[in-house]
Amino acid sequence: MPEYEDQSSVHHIGADHQLSHPLPWYRRRWILWTSLLLLLLLVAIVIVVVHNNDVKAAAAKRALAAVKPSVTTTAATATKGDIGIYLDAIGTVTPVYTTNITAQADGILTAVHYSEGQFVQKGSALIDIDPRPYQAQLTQAEGTLERDTNILAQAQMDLDRYRTAWSRNSINKQLLDDQEKIVLQDQGTVKNDQGTVNYDQVQLGFCHIAAPIAGRAGLRLVDPGNVVQASGSTVLVVITQEQPMTVVFTVAEDSLGQVQARMKQMHTLPVDAWDRTQTKKIASGKLQTIDNQIDTTTGTVKLRALFDNKNGALFPNQFVNTRLLLNTHTGVTLVPTAAVQHNGQVEFLYVIANGTASVRNIKTGVADGGMTEVQGINPGEVVATSSFDKLQAGSKVVVSKQAAPANAAEGNAP
């Protein structure tokens, strides 16, 4: 029995030893290479699949790019016409005449004849001052004149008698000479009296104030019963002439030579007055004169333009924008200013032909009233005026008949 058990133990130990023995090296190498080959095959399959997907995506992108969507834009046709060269300036409406009427006589106001804002004619009654004191002084002066005139007449008659008597040697020469001097003295007295009468007449005339010019009266500044003085500075009424009316504006001294040269050629230049926002033209007139000196503090010179102002659109001291027409370019190509695009220093247009947009470099000139003078395009060609953020050279274009939307973006670089 002991020997059997020992043999069984020996048999199991040998079996266990045989199972835990490692694989041979050539079998392990074969398994390793097989695994590597499978991994490489898997990587190759992944690379091929990804590449095919990229190729398909690029092809789809190229196909999509080949079919560009049309760009809807508004358009305008280049035209041939005239455009003016203007000098823009700020001006003030200035009446030809402005009269501040003050009292020339002391007294109490008895009547105010004008209404506020009334248009008065030259010579129209405005204000009356109590004339009675001045009328009394005039009566006294006239009485003194009448008395001294009669004294002079009496002295003249005596002189005539003395001359007759002297011709007959009835009196001596001294009496005749004395009478001649008396006559001269009386003549001086009468002349002095006449001057007093004239002065009192003028003073009496100051009691009735009439309009010295035709124009519009301002607000009432005095009332009946007010006391005024000739030495005072109180303004009784202000009258401004409104027809015609002038506008005084300034231009830079650098532009003075152009203005003077055109004035010598044309003798006068058109001037337009626009409102504060430069959206509405108020009136049209002509340049009247240029000031005689330049303001050294601002480097500008004043100009005055004359307007008939028949509709009363220009109001005294009103702020206006003026446009002085210096010259006119005739027969030039014009396009809407909104069509002109910029890329740095380059100016260009999108020209539409056969439903396709192309880029055309241009050179701009004068701009006025929403139109710009251009070179590099012919009249009759169609240019885009909107959708510049979508337009490119070669873009398919659909022209809309609606007005161009507000678009401040500049076009793409050509």
- CATH code of domain 71-80+331-399: 2.40.420.20
The pLDDT profile of the chain, 414 residues, written as one tens digit per residue, is: 444 444 444 444 444 444 445 566 666 777 777 777 777 777 778 787 777 777 777 766 665 555 557 888 888 999 999 998 889 999 999 999 999 999 999 999 999 999 999 999 999 999 999 999 999 999 999 999 999 999 999 999 999 999 999 888 888 889 889 999 999 999 999 999 999 999 999 999 999 999 999 999 999 999 999 999 988 788 999 999 999 999 999 999 999 998 999 888 888 899 999 999 888 999 999 999 999 999 999 999 999 999 999 998 999 999 999 999 988 888 999 999 999 998 888 899 999 988 888 899 999 988 888 899 999 999 999 999 988 888 888 888 888 875 544 443 344 444
Phi first, then psi: give them for residue 96, nearest 5 degrees. Answer: -65, -45
pLDDT of residue 403: 52
User: For residue 131, what pLDDT is reported?
Assistant: 95
Rounded distance between C-alpha atoms, residue 339 and residue 372, angstroms: 9
What are residue 347's DSSP bridge partners? 342, 362
| pLDDT value, residue 413 | 43
Q: Concatenated DSSP letters for 108-131?
A: EEEEE---TT-EE-TT-EEEEE--
Within a 10 A sphere around the Cβ of 206, how many other Cβ atoms? 16
What is the per-residue burial (b if ≥16 Cβ within 10 Å, else e) of 156-176? eeebeebeeebeeeeeeeeeb
250 CA to centre of own chain: 11
Q: Supply the Cα-derived Rg of the chain in whole angstroms.
A: 54
CATH classification code of 86-96+243-329: 2.40.30.170
pTM: 0.65
How deeply is 65 buried, as exposed, middle or buried, from its count of CB atoms within 10 A (0-12, 13-18, 19+)?
Answer: exposed
Distance CA 188, CA 27 (A): 164
Output the pLDDT for position 10: 44
Q: Which letter does DSSP use for residue 295 in this model? A: B
| Res 170: pLDDT | 84
pLDDT score at 63: 56
Are residues 221 and 252 in contact, defined by beta-carbon separation less than 8 angstroms? no
pLDDT at 60: 64
Supply 293's token pair: 């000196």
Amino acid at 246: T
Residue 201 main-chain phi, psi, to 5 deg? -65, -40
C-beta pairs of 199-205 under 8 Å, 24+ apart in sequence: 199/141, 200/134, 200/137, 200/138, 200/141, 201/138, 203/105, 203/134, 203/137, 203/138, 204/131, 204/134, 204/135, 204/138
- The alpha carbon dihedral of 335, 336, 337, 343 has a sign of negative
The CATH code for residues 100-240 is 2.40.50.100
pLDDT of amino acid 13: 45
pLDDT at residue 15, rounded to an integer: 45
* Count of other CB atoms within 10 angstroms of residue 52: 10
Domain boundaries, the chain: 71-80+331-399, 86-96+243-329, 100-240
CA nearest neighbour of 224 among 129, 99, 101, 125: 129
